[in-house]
């Protein structure tokens, strides 16, 4: 499993050189880990239909949910949140690459559900 995650991370880093939506990232991870939408949706505690909507870019996730997904899947919270922010910027008409530095765990207030970035 660690080999797969290592390969998935390398693949995601390669994809991040181009514009990558949050949905594309989640789908890429799911496919790299050889798991079904049903299995991943159970892991993330969302419906399969919701996961499908995320993967097909019909639904955006909050920054908090992006961080939760990263934690559940064992990936970088910074990377997941950065991609989610890029989706929001693109929706607003901005084309920007977001790179978060530092530890989001220290900057995330789980009680008030906000980030200090």
> pLDDT tens, 63-74?
999 999 999 999
Mean pLDDT of the chain: 83
> pLDDT tens, 18-58?
678 999 999 999 998 899 999 999 999 999 999 999 999 99
Instruction: Return the domain boundaries, the chain.
Output: 2-108
* Pairing status of strand 114-115 against strand 108-109: antiparallel
Mean per-residue pLDDT for 77-100?
Answer: 91
Quote the CATH superfamily of domain 2-108: lambda repressor-like DNA-binding domains (1.10.260.40)
Cα–Cα distance between 34 and 78 in angstroms, integer? 24
pLDDT at residue 5 greater than cutoff 90:
no
Q: Rounded to 5 degrees, what angle do the CA atoms 67, 73, 74 make?
A: 85
Closest listed residue to residue 89, CA positions, set 39, 5, 22, 38: 22
Cα–Cα distance between 38 and 47 in angstroms, integer? 8
Mean per-residue pLDDT for 95-114?
Answer: 63
């Amino acid at each position: 499993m660690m080999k797969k995650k290592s390969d998935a991370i390398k693949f995601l880093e390669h994809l991040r050189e181009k514009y990558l939506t949050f949905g594309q990232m989640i789908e890429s991870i799911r496919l790299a880990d050889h798991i079904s939408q049903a299995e991943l949706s159970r892991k993330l505690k969302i419906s399969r239909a919701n996961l499908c909507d995320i993967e097909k870019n019909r639904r955006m996730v909050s920054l908090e949910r992006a961080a939760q997904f990263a934690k559940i899947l064992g990936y970088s919270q910074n990377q997941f949140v950065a991609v989610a922010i890029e989706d929001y910027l693109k929706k607003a008409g901005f084309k920007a690459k977001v790179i978060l530095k530092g530890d989001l765990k220290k900057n995330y207030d789980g009680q008030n559900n906000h980030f200090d970035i």
